[in-house]
Amino acid sequence: MKGSCAGGLTLLSLLALPCGLLAGGSAFGDLSGTAAPENFQPAPAASAPAPLRVAEAEQYLPPDNNEPGFNWPPENKAGPDGDFLHTRKTPTYLKASEAGSETLTDGFGRCRLEADTLYKLRTAPVFEGQHVIADLETPLPGCAFTRGYVYLPHISSTSAGGLWELPVNVRAFLDTLAYAEGTNEHYNFLFTFVTFKSYADHPRKLICSGGLCSTAAGRYQFLSKTWDPLAQDLGLPDFTPPNQEKAALELIRRAGAYNNVANSAVYANFSKAVAKLNTIWASLPGSPYGQPTHPLANLWTVYKAALAGYK
């Protein structure tokens, strides 16, 4: 068959296109019977998934007021005998490094500190991460060094002050609060249990996880926007553990909860203190921030155990 423009088209004529039938944008579609509609629009590109909604952590900062609180002793705790470190009821070690004591050798890497013993220091104790750096006035028997690291949870008190200066009811309540916040004895925890080493200032590190972004830091998980005005009002020069204790007590005082905390061995006072503080610490029952909280009964059990440990 001989192809022409007037008659039917052979396959060869379609390929050759001698008559310009495909000059228009829809000519091939017309010939094949699949012409696109006049108002044809290409399908839109697939949209990117909606970003995860992230909330910023909140922490209520009560305004300063005349509520009663704890009267801290004078700043200089060294006294006539100078700076000191006192161990807890179990022996520990002065270590040449921050490494675990089980990895160090006796005499050169670690030296035993006896339980419930006061050690005089040449200089004021220095806080670093989860340790105190101590320079002993008297060398330990068989020890090649006098300056080293002591694991902070193994220390009951130092001349820097802090938790040990408080009444036992208050200490037990703060221990319970730290349990609720997930920090326990750690003063160097950030949100999500990331750690920091320097106590020169609040770390101010924003961490996002599980739809929440937070700058929470320290044993009592202070947000930076909470810490800054507290530190200014109280004249706190750094973020060391003793100053964290002072800031926590100030929040408790401003919330009108100190008398309840001071008498928290009575359940009614304990529960009232928790109710007054749940807008400051999101882990307490009744907190309005939508984060996981601990049942009051569970916290009461933790408190009683902590209090028993101080007696």
CA dist 235 and 237 (Å) reads 6
Q: Which residues are catalytic?
A: 181
CA dist 307 and 311 (Å) reads 7
The tokens describing 132, both together, are 């105190």
Question: Helix and strand tally (H, E) in the chain?
Answer: 8, 11
Give the residues across from 270 on adjacent strands. Answer: none
Residue partners of 292: CB distance under 8 A and separation at least 6: 283
Are 82 and 137 in contact by the 8 Å Cβ rule? The answer is: yes
CA dist 230 and 147 (Å) reads 33
| Chain position carrying tokens 């309540």 | 173
The tokens describing 127, both together, are 């806080």
CA dist 130 and 186 (Å) reads 7
Are 9 and 3 in contact by the 8 Å Cβ rule? The answer is: yes
The distance between the two most distant Cα atoms of the chain, rounded to a whole number of Å, is 121
Residue partners of 114: CB distance under 8 A and separation at least 6: 87, 91
